[in-house]
Amino acid sequence: MKNGEHAPAQADSQGAVRVFLVEDQPKLLKNLVKLLSAHPEEVEIVGTALDGESALVECARLTPELVLLDLELPGIDGIEVTARLKRTHPAIDVLILTSFDDETKVYEAIRAGASGYLVKRVSIDKILSSIREVRLGGVVLEPVIARRFWNSFQGAQAKPEIKVDPYGLTPAELEVLAFVAKGLSNAEVGRVMSIERRTVRTHLTHIYRKLGVNTHVEAVLKAMRAGLVEL
C-alpha cells in the first residue's frame, strides 16, 4: 500500500486513542486539551505542539495513534506536516482540524495522507466521533465540505468515460459509495442502510479491490468518472 493510504480496518479499536495535538494558538490548544481530556475513556492526550517542526520531532518520539492537526502553522504548514508524517510513520492517522473550509485545502490534505478534515466550528462530540471513525479505517468529511469537494470535480462527472459498470460493483456497494460521496461516515452509512459498520467496511474493501484503489477519495472519483455515482 502506498504512503498515506488507509485501507478499511478489520476490527474495532480497543481503549482510548493516543492523540497528539498540533495548534499554533496557545489558548485554543489549551481549550482543546481541556475538552478532550474530559473524555479519558476515548482519548489519551500524549503530547502537544505549537508548530510543525516540533510536531514532527515529538510524533517520532511519542508515536501517537492519531494527530489532530491545524493547517495554518508557523514554519511548515499542516499539509507538509501530514505528508512528512505519513512518509515516515504511515500507521499514524492524521485528522485535520482547521479554519479553512475550501475544497482545495481538503484535496491537498487528503492527497498528503490525511484521513479526515474538520472545521473548527464542529462540536467536541463530532471531534470524538471522527477520531473513532478514522481509527476504524474511515475517512471523515463534513457533509457540506464533502459536497463542495466532490462538486469541484464536476468535470469528471459531466462526461463519464463509460456508461456501463465494468467493475462489477453490486447494488449494495454502489449504495455505500454514493453515501460516502455525500460525506457520511462508515457508521452513518451503516445506520442509513440498516447494516453493521463492519459490513460497511467489508463493502469498502470489496469496492477498493474491484476499482483498484486504496482510498475513499480515489474510489469516489473513479466511480464519478465512470458515471456510477452522482451527487
d(CA 63, CA 17): 12
Domains 17-140 and 153-225 share a fold: no
CATH level 3 topology of 153-225: Arc Repressor Mutant, subunit A (1.10.10)
What is the model's pTM?
0.70
Class of domain 17-140: alpha beta
Element (H, E) at 146: helix 143-151
Phi, psi dihedral angles at 211 (to 5 degrees): -85, -15
- pLDDT tens profile 63-90: 999 999 999 999 999 999 999 999 999 9
Which cell goes with 220? 469516489
- For 204-218, letters b (16+ CB in 10 Å) and e give bebbbebbebbbbbe
pLDDT value, residue 227: 80
In the chain, what are the domain boundaries?
17-140, 153-225
